[in-house]
Amino acid sequence: MAVNDVALEINNISVCFDGFYALTDVRTRVMRNTVHFFIGPNGAGKTTLLDIICARTKPTAGTVIFHPKNREPVRLTGMKEYKIVNEGVGRKFQVPSVFVNLSVEENMILALKGHKGIFDSIFRKTTKEELECIHNTLKRVSLDGKSGERAGSLAHGEKQWLEIAMQLVSKPEIIMLDEPAAGMGKPETFKTGEILKEIKKDCTIIVIEHDMDFVKQAADIVTVLHEGKFLMEGNVNEVLADKTVQAVYLGRGGEHDA
């Protein structure tokens, strides 16, 4: 793949919490329009890596460089968290954070206008174009039939998809999802995989996940972390066939312990 297809560079990231290295010298590239998984045993440093990409945590060493499609590269390390979101790098956290008493559509309106402030969200009328964008985005996560429903009444999986849609509505170039299929049954997990394959057409997706069927279904590339270190990277088949990965993760039933 051409160098200009790189969306994110993770360069030699280390992070030390009170003498404990949660990550040591981790480096990889995330290619544009791919679904890039990070897997590894509990405590491997996966969530910490997402925290570093979105600047919630400062690394002890290393840099993260974002390569927007039509602009100069942007160094994310050292930036403010909200500025990174404005640059087009969004993140969905594991705990759902939808407003349960608002409708699906109202949650989407808040997500779309949120960065302009609450006053604007409440008092400025939503334009026809904005509503169209909201409904097109809901369609991509199969929630277009539910726009009038109270978000609190959605099934667990639907809430997760709504949150993904809330990320997508501002048209980010990269979205990060920490265990999006956690707590989902097989059919919902499968549908989540299909949603990721649909949205990567115009977005780059970084995902942490333990469910190996889900990884097999949706991954273009998989990076394996172990005890804060880069262990290996490859396509799903290469990773599954790797003896070290089997020993430290798969062999121990790592996919079931989250």
- Chain centre to alpha carbon of residue 83: 17
Rounded Cα gap, residues 197 and 203, in angstroms:
10
* Distance in Å, CB of 1 to ligand ATP, minimum: 27
* Distance in Å, CB of 45 to ligand ATP, minimum: 4
User: What is the total count of residues that contact Mg ion (CB under 5 A)?
Assistant: 1
If binding is defined by CB under 6 A, does position 42 make contact with ligand ATP? Answer: yes
Q: Tell me which long-range contacts 67-73 makes (C-beta under 8 A, separation of at least 24).
A: 67/4, 67/6, 67/7, 67/8, 67/9, 67/32, 68/173, 69/32, 69/173
* Distance in Å, CB of 134 to ligand ATP, minimum: 32
* Distance in Å, CB of 178 to ligand ATP, minimum: 8
The sheet that has 174-178: what strands, in order across it?
89-92, 174-178, 204-208, 35-39, 221-226, 229-234
If binding is defined by CB under 6 A, does position 137 make contact with ligand ATP? Answer: no
Give whichever of 47 and 167 is closer to ligand ATP, judged by the CB atom.
47
Binding string, residues 47-86; x marks residues near ligand ATP by CB under 6 A:
xx--------------------------------------
If binding is defined by CB under 5 A, does position 47 make contact with Mg ion? Answer: yes
Give whichever of 40 and 180 is closer to ligand ATP, judged by the CB atom.
40
* Distance in Å, CB of 94 to ligand ATP, minimum: 8
- Under 8 Å between Cβ of 164 and 180: yes
Binding site for ligand ATP (CB under 6 A): 17, 22, 40, 42-48, 258
